[in-house]
Amino acid sequence: MQRVIFNEDHHAFRASAKEYCDRSLVPRMEQFLEEKTIDRAAWLEAGKQGFLGLDVPEEYGGSSVGDYRFNQVFAEEVSKVSASLSSCFGIHYDCAAPYFVDLGTEEQKQRWLPKFCSGEYVAAIGMTEPSGGSDLAALKTTAKKADGGWVLNGSKTFITNGDMADLVIVAARTNPEKGAKGITLFVVEEGMEGFARGRKLDKVGQTESGTSELFFEDLFVADDNVLGELDRGFIHMMERLAQERIGAAVSNIAHATQILDETIEYVKQRKAFGQSVGSFQYNKFLIAELVTKVEVTQAYVDNGVVAHDEDRLSAVDAAKAKWWSAQVQNEVLDACVQLHGGYGYMNEYRVARAWRDARVTKIWAGSNEIMKELIGRDLGL
């Protein structure tokens, strides 16, 4: 089914995004996999092409396009290359950017955003903790008031871009007695004394993303690095989760669609018992189901993108898009592995890597179970 939400500007932007991916990402995927990170050159080239400042005003080095469909287009093109790369770039330009733009002071914006847009600074968001998972209100990292600033102690885990981030938005408890209403956001910068990175985590999938542990030991953060309002960090996070979740949905379905398209071509060529594997009735029916499911999901996600662009995407509808797209993505990729047969289990085949990469999407950005809980509460259950 033809998608109707894009205009000529979006199509031209997609061509530029695809060219960047083909030139700067695809030829270096083996390097990224081996090093378990995206090197700085790829970030700098993305910045040079204007992909990292889509939500940032022009006076700070961005383009401030004011149209979330451009974010969507870039996420889709990168997702076609690798779900892992999409998550790394997405955390930076799609998730972190609104925090800096919406909550930052004029001085903070001048200090951080130009290099954020150029790729000289890479951003991460430090929310998840070893014992907390999806329960952001239960975090244990603390920030105690000191002369001219705050002293942070604690740790974060599963942090995308954590291995190389120059700016980390850290959620810390500043008023323990107030629970969720006593959390504040801080920007921790590379080189601060007391800030340490742990190992790159050995994940099942998404190998090329530098997911790391972060540690804060008596780390002094000046008042100038408080992001947003004191004790309103939890609210700041909740207000921006809808964009994170619709962004995740965009990447999920783009990733699944690309691998499904490649699988369809594979089963047309692969022969068994004298005919193409795709011509067997069971496989033909299965692929018909997968294509339909992907296109229906894409229509829902596209509708969510338009709603977000018009500032009417609710947290509940974003949760629906997030969990359903992750579910469909995993169902589709599991079927694609099966259709490839034994080759589908070989790491040298993209379908195997994609299958492993996708599994985490049912866990992060709020687990699918949490998404269903939010939806159920909205129904009065």
What residues have CB less than 8 Å from 381, skipping those under 6 apart?
A: none
| pLDDT < 50: residue spans in the chain | none
pLDDT reported for residue 135: 73
Q: Does domain 234-379 have CATH number 1.10.3720.10?
A: no
Sequence-ordered alpha helix ranges (H) in 104-240: 106-118, 233-239
pLDDT reported for residue 331: 98
pLDDT reported for residue 151: 98
What residues have CB less than 8 Å from 350, skipping those under 6 apart?
A: 259, 262
What angle do helix axes 241-269 and 350-358 make, rounded to 10 degrees? 150
pLDDT reported for residue 8: 97
User: What is the residue extent of each domain of the chain?
Assistant: 8-121, 125-230, 234-379
Tell me the whole-structure pTM to 2 decimals: 0.95
Q: Cα(298)–Cα(81) distance, rounded to whole angstroms?
A: 18
Respond yes or no: is residue 244 known to be catalytic: yes
Q: Cα dihedral sign for 250, 253, 256, 257? A: negative
Backbone angles phi, psi at 353, to 5 degrees: -65, -40
Q: How is 200-255 classified by DSSP, letter by letter?
A: EP--SS-TTS--EEEEEEEEEEEGGGEESSTTBHHHHHHHTHHHHHHHHHHHHHHH
pLDDT reported for residue 138: 79
Nearest to 92 by CA among 67, 112, 69, 66: 112
Q: Are 181 and 175 in contact (CB under 8 A)?
A: yes
Identify the CATH assignment for 125-230 out of 3.90.420.10, 3.40.1390.10, 3.40.1400.10, 2.40.110.10. 2.40.110.10
Do 234-379 and 8-121 have the same topology in CATH?
no
pLDDT reported for residue 22: 98
pLDDT reported for residue 134: 66
Query: 8-121 architecture in CATH?
Result: Orthogonal Bundle (1.10)
Catalytic residue among 76, 208, 244, 373: 244
